[in-house]
DNA sequence: GATGAATGAGTATTCATTCAT
DNA sequence: AATGAATGAATACTCATTCAT
């Protein structure tokens, strides 16, 4: 019976990859990631068969991390607008608290290495968020659009807001408010809202 | 007195780069681009000192191409909503008509090779679009936000819509309508809605 | 724990570099050197970070090799003239026995890649020879000149003699005798001559 | 009848090559030399078929220049020692007055591009110097050595002295005196001289 | 499993030389 | 002849991956 794989080493590599990719992009050498993780060159390939697999797994972990952060302490019995606002705030807090995770994720999102399976798994992992979104847009102007499309639009708004905040941290509050307002209007535009009142 | 530099060769390289990068990403070898353009690999460096300069110039040309397409036949005396809708439609048509330009542009947009100067020039080139946006959001809920931030949000919606359309071309019309509606609500709906009540 | 770096491979590269540079000059491709050494071109860079470092190390090894050969079996209790003659003979024997080392060394000596540190280390390594020279020129006409300058003159005579011998091996003995005589006169003859009168 | 080659352009190239090679070595691009000469890339090849031919011709011109300088105002009726001293002084003056010529010449001397014919022509050009040397060594200890060999030894001493002077210009006088003394002892050692007196 | 040496395919850029103008 | 664009062979170095220890 040989030495078992160490969960610690795996995490060290994932975490090093986050930092290195945030700093130097997807072209960062695996050797650099290994060194940053404090493991040898060769060990990295024990834990991740290829660089591409490392990238895919890292993407999924970061996505999951972000998704979990977004749903943290969700006030399940609040109204849907407040729930969505809670998620929005969590999301921004995560991105500003872990800028390296956010940067790495942004790089990975455009990587040609991500497989269809990874994209599928990532979508599955977002199910919690999607459910909230589904309720938020009910009876709104996007009620009849494919949920995936709506999720995409909303995500794009969030990402853009995050970018803006990271670029000008001083404007965190105003950007956050404006971004959330925009999102809410996309999903549940004012006239409908007024009628509902 | 000697053979002049040929605008044709330059265009051939730019156009080849668009195709090759769309197909194989930013890591595409300069030799592949040169071959696709029908010139020697040395010639590529006569027209573009470095690969990085090629990328920057290509980005600016594609951005300009897209901007010009968006403003084509703008109905200057129509109301602002119709003008914006015209631009939106043009944009989607450009993206679906020249998917390679769009793909290449998307790749370039996240390239670490783009210089600050390129980003500046690109922003300058978008001034026409920004002006329309400025008028569209006047008196709307985004009236007091930094224009750059608003432009970013709106661009994000457009890009996401384009992605969705490229993925499901059959849904062009419905995606286009839904995307434009979302954008309009981001910019201008709330007050109008209230007034409408 | 892993395969250790092999001294043998390193020597193989050094030795191949000697041969290849002797034959084709400093512009010899690293790939050629690697192939001649029987290692992959990548391996060469495991042992020598850059071509320039390879050149510097090769220079020092050849210099050390030559210096050691020159001092081999030095008759420490012989008079200084005989000691110097012993060194001279050793030097010529080394150059004629290992013409490739000598050729490579000659090329390297004029290389712009040699660093100041290399020149310093090389000078340090020649300390044994310098000491003999210091004693040989004591009370001679060069007694008051900077030792470095005298070393240079004497080295120039030796190198020229070696060149002549390599060009006309048949004249080894007469060239050697004439060269040594010249050197001795440079260092020590005038006063002796006057005394002799 | 087409435009004749211009002697001026040729000189400009030769002179530019001297400067560029002194500064950047033999690997200097022909394009750099052409630009420094104020002519086009292509023109250089009108005047010199290949880079190698340029190097060979440059070598011969510099050698001739140096030789002419050495023999300038030779006091033909002075005794041979004074004649030789005059040559020696001229030589050092030339080297210190035109350090770029000297540097370029030093680089060229070790170039693998120099042909046998060039070396022969160069030797022919040194005939004037050789003649003086022949007389200087008559009855001396080198009287029976091949003149070429003696010329080589003497040249080596001169070159080394020049190097030392260029490195420490303050020591011009003492180095010059010591170097000449060494040369004279090589050719016409003191004891012989004393006997002659 | 852990290590780091070994491998060799891959790539931007340079440069002597040629050639169209 | 003069020019400078066109060419393509040449080359140092990188890096994902494999493998001996």
Does pLDDT of A171 surpass 50? yes
Out of C59-63, C193-197, D161-165, pick the least confident. Answer: C193-197
Is residue C58 predicted with pLDDT exceeding 50?
yes
| String of DSSP letters for D89-102 | HHHHHHHHH-HHHH
pLDDT attached to residue B2: 83
Task: Kindly list the domain boundaries of chain A, sorted by start residue.
Answer: 1-49, 58-187
Q: For residues C95-115, give the mean pLDDT.
A: 96
Helices (H), B25-171: 30-37, 41-47, 51-71, 80-97, 99-109, 116-125, 127-136, 147-167
Whether C86 and C75 have beta carbons less than 8 Å apart is answered as yes
**Quick check: A133 and A187 in contact, CB under 8 A?**
yes
What number of CA atoms fall less than 13 Å from residue B155's CA on the CB side?
Answer: 19
Q: Where are the beta strands (DSSP E) in A33-80?
A: none
Q: Indicate if CB(D143) is under 7 A from strand E.
A: no
**CA C55 – CA C58 distance, rounded (Å):** 5
In degrees, rounded to 5, the angle at the alpha carbon of residue C113 between the alpha carbons of residues C108 and C118 is 75
Determine the distance between B3 (CA) and F5 (C1') in angstroms.
Answer: 6
Q: What is the mean pLDDT of chain D?
A: 93
CA–CA dist A64, A121 (Å, integer): 10
Which architecture characterizes domain A1-49 according to CATH? Orthogonal Bundle (1.10)
Q: Which residues of D touch C155 (CB under 8 A)?
A: 160
Å: A20 CA to E2 C1': 22
Contact A157 B161 (CB under 8 A): no
Other Cβ atoms less than 10 A from the Cβ of D26: the count is 18
Q: What is the pLDDT of residues C14-38, one digit of tens each?
A: 999 999 999 999 999 999 999 999 9
Average pLDDT on B99-113 reads 95
DSSP D147-197: HHHHHHHHHHHHHHHHHHHHH-GGGHHHHHHHHHHHHHHHHH-HHHHHHH-
D130 torsion bin: left (phi>0), alpha (psi -120 to 50), beta (else): alpha
Residues of chain A above pLDDT 70, percent? 95
**Residues B162/B91, Cβ–Cβ less than 8 Å:** yes
Distance (Å) from the C-alpha of residue C3 to the closest C-alpha of chain D?
40
Q: Supply A166's token pair.
A: 């990271």
Q: Verify whether the Cβ–Cβ distance B149 to A175 is below 8 Å.
A: yes
CB D164 within 8 A of CB D175: yes
Cα–Cα dist A167/A175, whole Å: 11
* Contact state of D164 with C175 under an 8 Å Cβ cutoff: no
Q: Between residues A102 and B2, which one has the greater pLDDT? A: A102
Measured between alpha carbons, how far is D130 from D117 in angstroms, rounded to an integer? 19
- Note the pTM of the prediction, 2 decimals: 0.92
Test C189 with D194 for CB contact under 8 angstroms: no
Query: Is 70 exceeded by the pLDDT of residue C194?
Result: no
Superfamily of domain B58-187: Tetracycline Repressor, domain 2 (1.10.357.10)
C18, C57 Cβ separation under 8 angstroms: no
- The two tokens of residue D110 are 């070790």
Q: Please indicate whether, in this complex, the C-beta atoms of A160 and B178 are within 8 angstroms of each other.
A: no
Dihedral sign of CA atoms A40, A41, A45, A47 in order: positive
Mean pLDDT across the stretch C83-88?
98
Size of interface C-D (CB pairs under 8 A): 93
CB A165 within 8 A of CB A155: no
Q: Which nucleotides in chain F lie closer than 7 A to a protein CB?
A: 1-21
Q: Is the CB of A39 under 7 A from strand E?
A: yes
Helix/strand/coil percentages in chain B, nearest 5: 75, 0, 25
- How far CA A8 is from CA of A20, A53, C111, in Å, comes to 18, 18, 50
Nearest-CA neighbor of C107 among C181, C21, C169? C21
D195 class by beta-carbon count within 10 Å (0-12 exposed, 13-18 middle, 19+ buried): exposed
Report phi then psi at D124, rounded to 5.
Answer: -55, -40
Q: Give the pLDDT score at B191.
A: 42
What is the C-alpha to C-alpha distance for residues C175 and C166, in angstroms, rounded to an integer?
10
Q: Are A147 and B187 in contact (CB under 8 A)?
A: no
Say whether the CB atom of C148 is under 7 angstroms from strand F: no
Within 10 Å of residue C49's Cβ, how many Cβ atoms? 10
Query: Within 13 A of B112's CA, how many CA atoms are on the CB side?
Result: 12
User: How high is the pLDDT of residue B197?
Assistant: 40
How many whole angstroms separate alpha carbon D140 and alpha carbon D118? Answer: 31
Distance CA B104, CA C135 (A): 75
- Alpha-carbon separation of residue D83 from A116, C21, D90, D133, D141 (angstroms): 90, 42, 11, 10, 19
Q: Is the pLDDT of residue D126 over 70?
A: yes
Listed in sequence order, the DSSP H helices in chain C are: 7-24, 30-37, 41-47, 51-71, 80-97, 99-109, 116-125, 127-137, 147-167, 172-184, 190-196
Tokens of C72: 């081999």
Which nucleotide is closest to C32, CA to C1'?
F11
pLDDT reported for residue A5: 85
Closest CA to B181 of B159, B148, B149, B158: B158
Residue D3 has pLDDT above 80, yes or no: no
pLDDT on residue B97: 97
Q: pLDDT digit string (tens) for A72-114?
A: 999 999 999 999 999 999 999 999 999 999 999 999 998 999 9
Instruction: Report CA(C3)–C1'(E6) in Å, whole number.
Output: 10
Is strand E less than 7 A from the beta carbon of B2?
A: yes
Query: Rounded distance, CA B74 to CA C135, Å?
Result: 95
Which pLDDT does position C19 carry in this prediction? 98
Which DSSP string corresponds to B34-61?
HHHHTS-HHHHHHH-SSHHHHHHHHHHH
Q: Nearest CA to C129 among C106, C152, C161, C104? A: C152
Query: Is the CB of C11 within 7 Å of strand F?
Result: no
Rounded to a whole number of angstroms, the distance from the CA of D190 to the nearest CA of chain C is 5
pLDDT on residue A2: 61
Q: Which residue has better confidence, D15 or C3? A: D15
What is the model's pLDDT at position B192? 40
């Amino acid at each position: 019976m040989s030495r078992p794989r160490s969960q610690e080493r795996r995490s060290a590599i994932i975490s090093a990859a986050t930092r290195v990719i945030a700093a130097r992009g997807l072209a960062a050498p695996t050797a650099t990631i290994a060194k940053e993780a404090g493991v040898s060159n060769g060990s990295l390939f024990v834990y991740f068969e290829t660089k591409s697999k490392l990238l895919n797994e890292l993407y999924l972990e970061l996505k999951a991390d972000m998704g979990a952060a977004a749903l943290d302490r969700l006030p399940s019995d609040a109204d849907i607008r407040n729930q969505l606002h809670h998620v929005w705030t969590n999301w921004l807090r995560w991105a500003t608290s872990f800028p390296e995770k956010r940067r790495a994720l942004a790089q990975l999102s455009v990587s040609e290495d991500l497989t269809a399976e990874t994209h599928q798994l990532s979508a599955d992992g977002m199910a919690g968020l999607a459910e909230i979104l589904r309720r938020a847009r009910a009876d709104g102007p996007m009620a009849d659009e494919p949920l995936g499309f709506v999720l995409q639009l909303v995500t794009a708004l969030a990402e853009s807001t995050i970018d803006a905040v990271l670029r000008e941290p001083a404007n965190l509050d105003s950007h956050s408010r404006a971004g959330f307002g925009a999102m809410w209007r996309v999903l549940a535009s004012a006239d409908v809202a007024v009628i509902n009142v």
